[in-house]
Amino acid sequence: MPTSLTIAEAALATGLTTYTLRYYEQIGLIDPVPRRSGQRIYGDPEMRLIQFVLRLRGTGMPMRDIQEYVRLRRLGETPESIIGRGDLLERHAMHLRGELVTLTETITRLDEKIALYRSIYGADGTPAPVAGNAAESNVDATPTPRRKHA
């Protein structure tokens, strides 16, 4: 049988609050949810859209862009909509590829720094056997990316 959730159930399923679900609908971050005697019913399509939107949000896509994506989706299968959605997602994917690079770099650097700290006192807290005091040979330094709240 198809999914058919109340707002409270949908909240539980998504990890959002009912407030936030209504709020997202209000600002057009998700499509208007169909009602049955006035109450919102979250079916499969609704839940799938929410999950996708959350994935975009989770990877730092600006709310504005998500709103624009959902707006385009509502236009249906017109060229403008299809092309627009493709472009939006492509731009975001490109952005994410960039993040992937800095993320990988940062992890590498952190691992180096951690190794340095561990070479002085092991992860267990005991002083390491060899190792001169290489600490504060400053593994700091590097470039300067950014991430919004994301």
Partner DNA sequence: TGTTGACTTAGAGCGCACTCTAAGACGTAC
Partner DNA sequence: GTACGTCTTAGAGTGCGCTCTAAGTCAACA
Print the binding letters for residues 66-105 with a copy of itself: x by CB under 8 A, - otherwise: -----------x-x--xx-xx--xx-xx--xx-xx-xxx-
- H/E stretch holding 96 reads helix 79-120
Closer to a copy of itself at the Cβ: 67 or 102? 102
Q: Map residue 75 onto helix, strand or coil.
A: coil
Does residue 40 belong to the site contacting DNA (CB under 7 A)?
A: yes
Nearest-angstrom CA–CA distance, 56 and 99: 14
**Which of the stretches 2-10, 18-26, 28-36, 40-48 binds a copy of itself when contact is defined by CB under 8 A?**
40-48
Does residue 62 belong to the site contacting DNA (CB under 7 A)?
A: yes
Q: Are 10 and 47 in contact (CB under 8 A)?
A: yes
